A = this chain, B = another copy of it.
Amino acid sequence: MRRMNRIKTAIVGASGYSGMELLRLLLGHPGVELSAATSRQEAGKALSDVFPRFRGAPGAELNFIEPAPDAIAATGAKAAFLALPHGVAAEIARALLERGLRVIDLSADFRLADAAVYEEFYGHPHPAPDLLEQAVYGLPEVRADEIKTARLVASPGCYPTSILLPLLPLLRGNLIDPATIVANSMSGVSGAGRKADVSLLFCECNESARAYGVPKHRHLSEIEQELSLAAGKNVTISFIPHLIPVNTGIATTTTAMLREGISAAAVGDALEAAYAESPFVRLLGKGACADTKNVTRTNFIDIGWQYDSRTGRVILMSAEDNLGKGAGGQAVQSFNLMFGFSEIDGLQNF
């Protein structure tokens, strides 16, 4: 690996699971010098005290600081990752942008182009509608060029990534009927966050499987926005998330009717055409089922598919790490594009 010019970088809100994954990735990124990590709760403690896994990692002796924009900027940071709750991220994003940092936001605050849709799904007015225009929805497989020059990247949610990447090429190619899309996802418990909540206790999640958040999970808003763009018309889908007892990993199975006259082979062709050059999309081919255990702690998304001639439905099966390609890894992938690194720098984990 070549010697790189290190970019001073901040993580704002680094004490949750996405923050922890960002720490893991950025502490090991050859092009990054972690200059600040913030946490209201842990301010004053060393990273390695809060996350003992990082003891001994170069850089992990850094202390958490309060999320004050001036203090972050004073560290010389040129980039900031925000791993904050929606509604909170927008304000600090603005402050950091004003201070010249480029921002990669992992919250939902800048994912929706339309502030009214934000309000519908998140239940409060958008906190910074004037910034929406400059935000880029950070799916590198779709918008690499825009990401390269963006000052504000809205990194996609975990479920959306697992649903969009298999579906987008099929919608762009007009291969499926968008009105028939049904997506079922199973997520690891880390997706629910690192918060003291009885429903997330070990004994409440272990030996349990359950749907939740039906019928209108918030991630639907960004999923449908992107599907609609690809289809060239409004798309509305059914999406049912489930919680299963694994730490990380999302497995998503999406079905849709193939349009009349479209051959099953066209599905494989469309996926190949879309992702042949994408370093983090692994196409498993027809008949193969994706397994989360092959992608945990990586930035890969594995995609297999099948055609059911009995019903005319195509079945798309994707697997990703909800903290990796579904959160921290994907954000770092955008960072790499923004700062001129190779897309895979710091993401070569197996």
Q: Which residues of A contact B (CB under 8 A)?
A: 1-3, 17, 24, 27-28, 30, 52-57, 179-180, 182, 184, 186, 188-190, 194-198, 200-212, 214-216, 236-238, 240, 242, 244-249, 251, 253, 255, 279, 282, 284, 287, 289-298, 300, 302, 306-311, 313, 315, 317, 319, 348-350
Contacts and interface: CB of A to CB of B under 8 A. Distances in A.
B311 A211 contact: no
Contacts of A350: 24, 27-28, 53-54, 57
A27 B293 CA distance: 19
Contacts of A211: 251, 253, 289-290, 315, 317
B214 A306 contact: yes
10 contacts: A56-B282, A180-B180, A195-B198, A196-B198, A206-B247, A212-B289, A214-B306, A215-B308, A215-B313, A238-B255
Contacts of A300: 55-56
B215 A307 contact: yes
Given A297-B297, A319-B209, A240 B255 contact: yes
A300 B209 CA distance: 15
Contacts of A246: 206-209, 244-245
Contacts of A52: 284, 291, 294, 302
B306 A215 contact: yes
Contacts of A287: 214
A207 B297 contact: no
10 closest Cβ pairs, A-B complex:
A215-B308, A208-B293, A210-B291, A184-B184, A202-B205, A209-B251, A196-B196, A189-B202, A211-B289, A53-B294
A209 B238 contact: no
Given A54-B350, A189-B203, A215-B311, 4 more contacts: A2-B3, A184-B253, A190-B203, A209-B244
